[in-house]
């Protein structure tokens, strides 16, 4: 089976500052991948480059598509709902997604809302931070695409909400799709991961299978990730 995502010699700078350089990455289908790195390492930038909302120099191929418009139709990226007035109820956001995205699965969305205990009459202004994050996850996972990008989905929310989000990712992940979850705290997502990709010093520091890390090093994912910063070196694939 060919790779879902292939990135070759990708470089990106913003206002003459180099953010990412010489990024090469291949991801297979059907995986859950942790995109790890410190704050400011370039995780969000890489996701935006994949979706085509940012433009760098290099090759990005997603499901046999190279152009940004084609890639956008094959990836679901977390939208923090900043474009909606706070008075907008969940039902109206659902209608917007149905109109804009042909691949939006209304049945899956309603099942996710029920699973996450969210009421469609609730307005954005009435949502706690945890419930807003759960809504964002539900919207993201309700599109039928080969690649899902979850950018810091657990940032600043309570442990109960984190557990519900993790359970929803496990329950509603399409078998052949790949989910990339960015985080700078590994503990939250370690049990989910098939692979990790670490961005450090503006490039991919390592890309390893989670089981291989445990087998070869005897360390859990969090300890291995921390060791990359303690040693200051680069790990071979």
CB 165 within 8 A of CB 133: yes
Q: pLDDT higher for 93 or 154? A: 93
Q: pLDDT (tens digit, 9 = 90+) per residue, 186-219? A: 887 888 999 999 999 999 999 999 999 999 999 9
- C-alpha distances out from residue 147 to 43, 94, 135, 222, 232, Å: 16, 20, 19, 24, 31
| Mean pLDDT of all residues in 8-12 | 97
Q: Of 171, 183, 186, which Cα lies nearest the Cα of 223?
A: 186
User: Do the Cβ atoms of 108 and 141 come closer than 8 Å?
Assistant: yes
Q: What are the chain's domains?
A: 5-231 (3.40.50.300)
Q: pTM of the full predicted structure?
A: 0.93
Residues 6+ apart with CB under 8 A from 107: none
The pLDDT value given to residue 203: 95
């Amino acid at each position: 089976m060919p790779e879902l995502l292939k990135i070759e010699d990708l470089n990106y700078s913003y206002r003459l500052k180099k953010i990412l350089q010489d990024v090469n990455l291949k991801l297979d289908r059907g995986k859950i991948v942790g995109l790890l790195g410190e704050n400011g390492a370039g995780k969000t930038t890489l996701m935006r480059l994949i979706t085509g909302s940012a433009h760098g120099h290099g090759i990005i191929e997603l499901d046999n598509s190279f152009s940004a418009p084609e890639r956008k139709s094959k990836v679901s990226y977390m939208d923090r709902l900043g474009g909606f007035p706070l008075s907008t109820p969940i039902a109206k956001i659902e209608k917007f997604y149905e109109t804009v995205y042909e691949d939006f699965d209304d049945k899956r969305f309603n099942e996710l809302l029920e699973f996450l205990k969210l009421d469609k009459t609730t307005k954005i202004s009435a949502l706690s931070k945890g419930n807003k994050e759960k809504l964002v996850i539900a919207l993201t996972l309700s599109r039928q695409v080969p690649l899902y990008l979850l950018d810091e989905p657990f940032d600043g929310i309570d442990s109960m909400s984190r557990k519900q989000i993790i359970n929803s990712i496990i329950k509603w992940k399409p078998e052949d799709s790949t989910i990339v979850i960015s985080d700078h705290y590994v503990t939250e997502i370690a049990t989910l991961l098939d692979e990790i990709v670490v961005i450090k010093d503006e490039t991919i520091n390592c890309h390893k299978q989670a089981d291989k890390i445990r087998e070869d090093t005897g360390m859990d994912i969090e300890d291995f990730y921390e060791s990359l910063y303690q040693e200051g070196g680069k790990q071979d694939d």
